[in-house]
Structure 1
Amino acid sequence: MRSLSRALPRRAATLLAASAALAAGLMGCAAEPATAPPAPTSTAPTTPPPPPPEELRAAAARDWVAAASTRELAGSVIMASIPTTDPVQLHQLMLDSGIGGFIIMGANVPGTPEELGALTAQLTTDEALPPLVAIDEEGGLVTRLPWDTLPGADTLRGEPAQTTADAFRGRADLLSAAGINVNFGVVADVTGDEFSFIFARSLGNTGPEAAPRVAAAVEGERGRIATTLKHFPGHGVTAADSHTAIPQAELSLTDWRSDTAAPFSAGIEAGAELLMFGHLAYTAVSPSPASLSPEWYAIARDELGFEGVTVTDDLGMLRSSGVPEYQDPVATTVTALSAGADLALTVIGMDAAGVTALVDGVTAAVASGALSEDRLREAATRVTLLRLELAGA
């Protein structure tokens, strides 16, 4: 019930207002009305809303790149690995080299998730800008963590897309709990050839068949870790293994668009943060391996609309091919960065001294003009932005 003590003052106020209006009307009959000065108005100052977090991160990435030395920029676009489970050695590697990322290989995996978490923690030398910590955790045939018992593509390729989403959601939780923030784990290659090395790792026989599962894998990992699609533009068109050779494919760009491209398009549309470029040559498009091909980086950006971080497959694999022009790790890294790679991955044959020498070599390439400083800054900006996003900045 309404309080009378509140109602009475309101009624009195109403009567007073009516009396005042009547008096004003009577006065208006006897004299000219006076013009009252306008009542002063005051507008409370408004505080503009803060910029969205993504704008703040983008500005922070630009600021870091603008203030960084050439060597710091060179380090930021390299991801490497050395074979040890010694956290002290790994921490020193990150300090000495300044690399932007580290990939966990089998030789880096200790016996328990807790030990792995302690190891990955030592990879951070700047709490404000933690590195990218990646792993190839596809499940099934490619499983680095012994405690990952979730299904891989060899099982998932025959299951509904939701099963793939569930598996990769669980996998992402395992990785995140161990301090890993990037999974090189979503294979977008397709093949129906059961004898192909990629068959049991692919999520379908054809592009349209695999595309929903690839998108589901990306969606499963979303919000937990950054997802990588691999091996662009598609390994299934050739049976050769790029770990030991540079496969050649004669598929035309038109035919590629009609089938092989579909899982990559679906994964990009689903929000994959990274796109890994393989070491195979589609000779109708470029004589170079895709990882070193400006044409393929342009197709990824311009046709598929990919805006995230482009990363090479392990550049050490090119050295393993035996091709003379790919034996210099610095030259190959510079070629990849110049072509459009944002992050150069190098694993095979690397030790701590080799990683530091690679960073120094890329730094020297900028000084000599072999690598454009603008291209290096563009790559470093994308990588730094991803690092800030994953750090929750």
Structure 2
Amino acid sequence: MIRLPLALLGAAAMLLLAVAAPHPAAHADSAPEVRVVAAPEDAEDRLARAADLAAGMSLREKAASVVMGHIPTTDPAAASAYVTGNGLGGFILMGANVPGDEESLRALTGALTADPSFPPLIAIDQEGGDVSRLPWDGFPGARTLREEASGATQDAFAARAALVDRAGISVNFGVVADVTADRSMFIFGRSLGADPDGAAARVAAAVAGEGAHAASTLKHFPGHGAAPGDSHAGIPESGKSLAEWMETDAVPFAAGIDAGAPLLMFGHLRYPAVDELPASLSPQWHRIAREELGFTGVSVTDDLGMLQASGDPAYADPVANGVAALAAGSDLVLSVMFSTADSAPRMVDGIVAAVESGALPAARLDEAATRVAALRLARADAGAGFVPCPGCSPAG
């Protein structure tokens, strides 16, 4: 049976009116948007409904449901055709997808959802600071927050998540759980702490802050802070043993999982003492996340294009990488770099072929499709009955 985190399961049945947090530069006379959230489903009901949805999908529909794709466009019609036409489970917004104002972005994200009761997962990398796709996010990022008490992190991520939510985005790939004190490390400026305990407190605070408005994602598991280099251009490596990792880099991830983060992003990082494979393709690291840290949500790969960019011929085929990630335990495969309009259909074709050949067990795809479906249902519950405020400007 697939276990899901409490963050996905909803709270007690109620009717809630919530007002989105203001834009940092909003005018004082800007009226808020109003959200009406209907009574959420019981945990078991949602899980059962997710399993039913997955069971009712064709093989190709299941394959498409575990793919999060990307094309660089701000045209709502083009983005809609790409997502709905391919039946994709999700879409990631990059800088090339973000127009100059919230209203235009809302039009784009709104066009991606054909069925509000089962929306695709619309994601963004909105960390704040060094990695910020929304130019109107003026809230502090990691370089500031890592020097402050964890309460400041919770406040910043609560406000940031409200902006994300208001733009029609349901998933934030925004909580960097990597820990490092080394300023020369690639991830230093994005890390929330220089030591495991400090980073853990801020990671948990970030998840708590985001929870009301967006699905938090912890990244880059098992930890980029111990692996020198840039995973966008190579496969960084750490010499740590599993025991050493459990005492250090694992701590912030464990804190974020305990705080209820519903997604965990696996990095293209190699810890040879644990597994020679990059974590994103490693059954061992997926086992550790679930059995040792107790993660029960959706595991997502970092951009599979980064494996291609490493130059390692073993990872030159993005479709093979996607199939390997699913077989290892990933639930959602992400493709950005080198992605074109036909990349997602090729990935779906490859997943279908892998199941038909037996290279990817059908039960593994069923499990992944069910987990993704449950998260989609949870996000539908969180945004159910969204009522735009007539005449209000979301950007203030």
The alpha carbon displacement at 1:133 in A equals 0.4
> Which structure is larger by alpha-carbon Rg, 1 or 2?
1
Correspondence 1:107-118 to 2 at 5 A: 107-118=96-107
Tell me the C-alpha RMSD between the 2 structures. 1.2
2:155 to 129, 146, 166: 166
| Same amino acid, percent of matched pairs | 59
Q: Which runs of 4+ in 1 moved over 4 A?
A: none
Is 1:64 aligned to 2:50, yes or no? Answer: no
Deviation per CA, 1:87-119, whole angstroms, max 9, x where unpaired? 111111112211100000000000101100000
Note the alpha carbon deviations across 1:136-189, whole angstroms, 9 max, x for none.
000000000100010000000000100000000000000000000100000000
Q: 2:282, 2:161 → 1: CA distance? A: 31
1:260-339 to structure 2, matched below 5 A, reads 260-339=249-328
Instruction: Report Cα offsets for 1:262-314 as digits up to 9, x if no partner.
Output: 10010000000000000010000000000000000000000000000000100
Structure 2 counterparts to residues 1-393 of structure 1, below 5 A = 53-392=42-381
Partner of residue 22, structure 2:
none
State the AA in 2 paired with 1:75.
A
Distance in 2 (CA, whole Å) between partners of 1:291 and 1:57 is 28
The residue aligned with 2:27 is none
Asked whether the 8 Å contact 2:71–2:340 carries over to 1, the reply is yes
Conservation of the 8 A alpha-carbon contact between 2:228 and 2:237: no
- Whether contact under 8 Å (1:96, 1:356) holds in the other structure is no
Structure 2 residues without counterparts, runs of 5 or longer: 1-38, 385-396
Would you say the 8 A contact 1:188–1:263 is kept in 2?
Answer: yes
Instruction: Provide closer, same or farther for how the CA distance between residues 309 and 238 of structure 1 changes in structure 2, counting only shifts above 3 A.
Output: same
TM-score by length of 2: 0.85
CA shift, 1:259, in A, is: 1.1
Which residue does the alignment assign to 1:4? none
Whether the aligned pair in 2 keeps the contact of 1:207 and 1:263 (CA below 8 Å) is yes
Match of 1:30 in 2: none
Q: Is the 8 A contact 1:218 1:267 kept in 2?
A: yes
Q: For 1:311, give the aligned amino acid.
A: V
Structure with greater contact order relative to length (CA < 8 Å, sep ≥ 6)? 2
Secondary structure at 2:284's aligned position in 1?
helix
- Whether the aligned pair in 1 keeps the contact of 2:221 and 2:266 (CA below 8 Å) is yes
Point out the structure with the larger helix share: 1
2:168 partner SS: coil
Query: How far did 1:224 drift?
Result: 1.0
Structure 1: give runs of 5+ residues left out of the alignment: 1-49
Contact 1:316 1:347 (8 Å CA) reproduced = yes
Q: Deviations over 1:192-246 (max 9, x none)?
A: 1101111010011111121100000000011211000000000001221110001
How many aligned residue pairs are there?
A: 344
Instruction: Measure the CA separation in 1 of the matches of 2:42 and 2:64.
Output: 26
SS at match of 1:145: coil
Matched residue type, 1:338 = A
TM superposition score normalised by structure 1: 0.86
